[in-house]
Structure formats: C-alpha cells, structure tokens
Chains A and B, each alone.
Chain A
C-alpha cells in the first residue's frame, strides 16, 4: 500500500502522519521524496553539465508559491542549474499557454510547471515534451497527459490525506446529525477532487450521521455570496470545510459579517488562516502542505530527470495536521521562517 513517509525534513515527528493516503492522477503508488536521493557523483555530473530550467507557476503572489519557488531555486542552485525565468500566470490558462509556447522557443533543458487548468493547457504542456524539453509537473496533471511520455513526474502534497485531516478536525465540532457545508472548486482539478473525495470518505466512514451540503465555486468572488446563500438556506448549518485557504478567508469574512460562529476547517497554512486558527473562534483545524520541502523535491526530481534517471511518476509529500495548540511550531517548520507577530500574539492569547 502506501509507504511510510519518513525522513521528511522540516516537520516535527509528532506532526507527521504514518503514510501517504492517496494515489496519483493515474493511480500511481506514491513515492516518498526521501527515496529520491542523488549522491555526490550525480551532483558533480549535474554541475558540470550546466543545465537550464524555466519555472511556470499559477501565481507568485501567495505564501505557498513564494516558499515553493524558494525551495526549487535553492536546490537547483546546489546543482548549478540556472533558472532562466519564472513566469507568474495569474491563474490564467491563456497566459500559461502563451508562456509555455514562448519558453519552448527559448529551449531550456527542462520546464517546471503547475498547470492552471485541465484540458485548456494540456496541449501546450504536451508540446514541451514534444520539443524534447523535460517537463516536471507540480500539483496538477491535465488528464490527457501521460507520465513518462508527456511529463517526467508529478510532485504534489498528499491531497487525499489533507482532505481527511479537514474532516477529522471538523467532526468533533459537529453535533449528531448536523449538516456541514463543503465549499469546493467546480473544476476537475486533481488537487481539489482528491481533497473533496477524501473529506466525504472520512465522513461516510466515521460520521455517517453528518449530512453534507456542497457549494461549488468557479471564481473567488463567488465564494462569499454563495456561502451567504447557503447560510440563508440552511440556518442550522453546523460547520464548513473549505477546499483551500484563499476561499476560506472569504468564508471567514462572510461569517464575521453575519455575526455567525461556525467551526471551519481548511487546507494550507497561510498566515491569515494560521492567525484565525490561533484565535480559536472559527477555524478549528488546518491540513498543511510543506511548500518549501515540496519545492526541494521538485528540483531534485528535475535534476534526476536531466541526468537521464527514471523518476517515479508521482512523488507525494505527507499532509500535516495543524491544531490551535501547535500552530506556531508547525508554521515555523512549514514556512522555514519565524511566525509573524500577529500569530504569536493570537497564539499566546
């Protein structure tokens, strides 16, 4: 089944789950990042080769993206790989397609990309490999692409594990036969689908008494109004699970504007959500990714691919469970940085 996720740097032992719970986009068994080790001989070969890489991200504006990029660039630097360019697509599929087309003409040895949609960007990604440029994917794999042919590997968090954490931390706050709102994303994204399916599975297995009501958004601006309608239609709503932290911030704003106090769980330990978790009034738990360590893994997989090694099709980093008691320590280990003053103050009451 899934292997033990041991030796992941940057997270206290107590915060680590025993295993990766999910499978890859094509059913791949997870490979743990600490199993992808390059020795000094491989590092020397890479440094002598003088590889070049371009990075195409959904955004550079979020804490997650900044940390992820830091992990990628620092690790590529150790192998003397030059980062030619980092593109911020601003979540726009058209911008990503244009960036990939331009980068193919620039001909780096590899492109690292986080696909911002499914079918809309699949062909542009396929053209990268067709041009003889190695492609390494982050988080999402457009369903038409095949590992080993169209891309070398996919690196992501264990999104199935993250979804289960969201359910496990919310369930104790919900009374028997209560109703929970699931605020999810209305695209067949590997990441979002895995989180929602896992949340539902945990509830079905462990708390079948809880009824689930789904709210699907397409644009971030829709989140507040849609959750507002949900609260109007279901005044007895007993909790909310939000698919990641940015929409969760909109949900918190909606709840506060209405003076409602509902338990919320979400995924990603952004600063605002971490502070809300430390305050303890609405956010009851978070499933955290490890963006810096994931960046390190992405870069290592990229170098291994450039050296002609066959890397696993899906490399997954374990999900971290974050509660109010440990929010500061997990924040530090996830972000490789001291917690901000606002978080410290909220945590210390």
Chain B
C-alpha cells in the first residue's frame, strides 16, 4: 500500500486512533469531544483509518433522540501477535489479536537447563503450528516473549534486538535474532513476572485501579509492580525480586542468589514441601505421612490436608503466609498499591495461607496504606503471562513514536525501520558464535541436540 501523504494530518490521526483503540471514545461525537477536533476533521480521519484497515464499524448505540449513533472500534483481527513465556520447567505459547486478547494458548513441560537450542527449535515448531491453525489468516504484527529473568530496560528505538542475559547459555545465543529473521516481525522481551503482571493488570481501562502489585508464590517468589498504570521495570529491569528480601529468621539456608534467609528459601513451594515432609517424619500428621508414603508430596496435597483439618499442614501454610505477608507489608508501605494480586500454586491451597498473608499485611502496614487495599487471588494461572506478552507487544506497536512511523502505511510490517532490523538479525545469525557453538536451527531443522545444561534463574 502506498503511504498517504498525511504528515500534516498525522497528529490528529494518531489522536483519533488512540482514543478508539483505548476505548475512550467510540462514536463520532465522543471523538470530537475527547479530541477537541471539529466534525469535518474527525470524519476525515475516520475515513482514513477505515481505508487503512485499522478500524471498523461496531454496533449502534441507543438513539438519544436523533439517528442512533454508529460506533467504531479497532479491527482486532487486522493482525496477530504471537506470544510465548518460558520458565524453568514450562513453555507457554499462544496467539492474540490486536486488542491483546489471547485466542489460543498451549502449555507444555520444558527443561530450561537443556539450553537455548532445543527450546528455540520447539518454540519455532509451536509458533509455526499455531499460525497454521488460524481460521482467518492474520498478518503477524509482532511477538511478545516472557523469559525467566531480568531483561535490561532498553533506551533505544522501539524495535531493537533485545539481549537475553538471564543465563550465560542464552546470552551468547541469538534467539531474538532467529525469531525476527524467521517471522520478519519485531520481538519484545520482558521477564515472565512482568509479563504476568501486565496480564493480570489487563488492557487499558479508566475504571480500573492504576497501582497494582502482582506477587507470584510458587517455586520462586517474585513480584511485578504497576505504578500509575505503567509497568515499573527498574534501572536493570529486575524490579520486583522480593523473594530475595531477607526475612531475618536466622536461617542457615543459602539461596541461589548467594545470601541467607531469603524469603524464597523459607516460604516458597520447596520450603512448604520440606516442612510437610518433616511433619510427616516427626509423627505430627497422619495425613501428611500418608501422602509422603504415596510418593513425593505436592503443594496441593498439603493444601487439601489443611482444609480437611490437619493441624500440622495448617500451621505450615499459616507460617508461610505470615512470612510473605510481613514482606508485602513493607512493600505496601513503600508503594501504596490499591490492590495486591496473589498468584502461583501456593495460593491454590485454600484460605489459611491467604488469610495469614492478609493478616500480616494489615497488621504491619501503615493504616492509611491499607484503608482501601484489596488482597485478591489471581484466577488466570499461567495464562496471565501470555496475556501480558500480548498487551506489551500491542502497547509497543501502538506506542506514539512507533505508530507515527507506520500508521500512514496501514501496517507495522511496512515500518521504515523494520527491514534494517531484519537485516541486522540475519547478519548476526551469519556471524560465527562468540562463545558456544550453538546456533539457531534452520527453518527445516526441527530438532537439535541439547546443549550443556546450566543452572538457570
């Protein structure tokens, strides 16, 4: 599509489109009021956006006396977003539309310790399959990926080849380059917890709280922070590592970060299982002993035992909840969130742990900080990270500078900087490997020998 000569119109075009995309205005009159533009200008910009294929007519609103007004909305299926999330033991993939709604998702076990090569080959295979499944072929507009560690906050342009520094084997491996070159689309990477936080926070909505703390309570304990409606990433992109806050219990357990007494070593899933096994050994719990006798005890079993009245199981979960709640109280004082969302398998153990968290937060926080504080449980599970990856990719695609560069062409696939990004990715893929000999598989190479496992975080 030839680019429309719209330099003079660009500002108003972007303003109208942003109002429609974020749901702040849906009729011509609402657009006039919200943008301050005249009727003729709004009508022209709507015609332009329709011609570019970015918006479509929606339903009619009830009549207020005259003709029932017709709404307009973003064309959600104009493009698609591939999303993925990776942690130590799971790979999640999905496909989303341009509103960030996940249309399809799949989750499977994966071993991060196997290294980047087999995981990237698997990601390629799943992405290819997901794209084949589409009833209506959407052009791929972008890719959002969550990874199990910090991603440095970029300072450059909206489309870059972000480096994955969460593990040495990935730092020397051009995974992002391989995805960009294969799909000819920009890739945005964030930590899994930040993706999940954005997924829990959801798409833009003026009615929703703007300050949210999302806390993952599972094999690891970490948090994502949304402040005034924006994800807070921190200087190095690692904001939210609350599992490494010392909880001062004089523990001898050394955390994988090298410190002692980290919250994670005392209150994450492994600590709960350890405590349950000890209670089973010491004869404090018949139920837990039976569970241990059947095999490795699981967190859901400990939760069920507590719900059925097992005192030892209840005590373990209550202590774990108090430790977590005391830490969250400090964060509540520091950040003053309007809601704390708790996710992860420890939250699926019933009410005892959650009640202990709430009690500790309310007891140890400044009264004003808890006046309207809601402490709720996530209902999204691992889907949250995929939803967040989609929303982050959408936010990047429709960010002011990015949008200004491609809106006149109707698709970010015609963004003037994209060919250079793809060329750079292809050039890096041709370079000899800097460290390990691992290279991304060719498109037809569907599996590869695993590289050497390493300790990951």
Contact = CB atoms under 8 A, between A and B. Distances in A.
A39 B286 CA distance: 13
B377 A204 contact: no
A208 B129 CA distance: 16
Nearest to B94: A143
Interface in B417-441: none
A297 B22 CA distance: 44
B109 A1 contact: yes
Interface in A120-151: 143, 146-150
Given A7-B294, A27-B107, A197-B129, A312 B348 contact: yes
11 contacts: A26-B383, A27-B383, A29-B298, A31-B298, A36-B304, A147-B379, A148-B348, A160-B108, A188-B104, A214-B132, A312-B348
A2 interface: yes
Contacts of B125: 200-201, 204
A309 B291 contact: no
Interface residues of A, number: 43
Contacts of A34: 294
Contacts of A205: 447
Interface in B100-120: 102-109
A207 to B, nearest CB: 10
A313 B381 contact: yes
A26 B133 CA distance: 19
A4 B106 CA distance: 22
A181 interface: no
Majority-rule SS of A interface residues: loop
Contacts of A7: 294
A21 B348 contact: no
B345 interface: yes
Contacts of A177: none
Given A27-B383, A146-B380, A147-B381, A208 B304 contact: no
Given A35-B300, A35-B301, A148-B377, A23 B294 contact: no
A75 interface: no
A6 interface: yes
Given A146-B379, A309-B307, A35 B107 contact: no
B296 interface: yes
Interface in A185-203: 188, 193-194, 197, 200-201
Contact of A35 (B105, B291, B382): B291
A23 B108 contact: yes
A92 interface: no
Contacts of B63: none
Given A23-B382, A193-B106, 9 more contacts: A23-B107, A27-B105, A31-B298, A35-B300, A35-B304, A39-B308, A146-B379, A188-B103, A197-B126
A35 B109 contact: no
Nearest to B290: A37
Q: Which one of A197, A309, A310 has the greatest number of beta carbons of chain B within 10 Å?
A: A310
Given A27-B382, A148-B377, A35 B294 contact: yes
A310 B379 contact: no
B307 A310 contact: yes
Contact of A312 (B105, B122, B133, B300): B300
B406 to A, nearest CB: 30
B350 interface: yes
A36 B301 CA distance: 8
A27 B90 contact: yes
B109 A26 contact: no
A25 B307 CA distance: 25
A3 interface: yes
A201 B129 CA distance: 11
Q: Of residues B92, B126, B300, which shows the largest number of chain A Cβ atoms within 10 Å of its Cβ?
A: B300
A325 interface: no
Interface in A4-41: 4, 6-7, 21-29, 31, 34-36, 39
A108 B349 CA distance: 26
Interface in B440-455: 446-447
A30 to B, nearest CB: 10
Contacts of B109: 1-2, 21-23
B441 to A, nearest CB: 11
B105 A148 contact: no
Contact of A29 (B102, B345, B379, B447): B345
Given A23-B109, A160-B108, A313-B348, A208 B381 contact: no
Nearest to B111: A1
Contacts of A310: 303-304, 307, 348-350
A23 B90 contact: yes
B104 A143 contact: yes
B136 interface: no
Given A23-B90, A146-B380, A208 B348 contact: no
Contacts of B303: 310
A310 B104 CA distance: 27
Nearest to A188: B104
A42 interface: yes
A219 to B, nearest CB: 15
A28 B384 CA distance: 12
| Most chain B CB atoms below 10 A, which of A160, A188, A194, A200 | A188
Contacts of B350: 309-310
Contacts of B304: 35-36, 309-311
Contacts of A26: 105, 107, 380-383
A258 B304 CA distance: 56
A342 B345 CA distance: 48
A46 to B, nearest CB: 13
Interface in B342-384: 345, 348-350, 377, 379-383
Contact of A143 (B102, B382, B446): B102
Interface string A299-342: 00000000001111100000000000000000000000000000
A311 B294 CA distance: 18
A29 B269 CA distance: 13
Contacts of B380: 26, 146
Given A1-B89, A312-B300, A312-B348, A208 B446 contact: yes
B321 to A, nearest CB: 15
A6 B295 contact: yes
Given A6-B294, A27-B92, A310-B303, A22 B379 contact: no
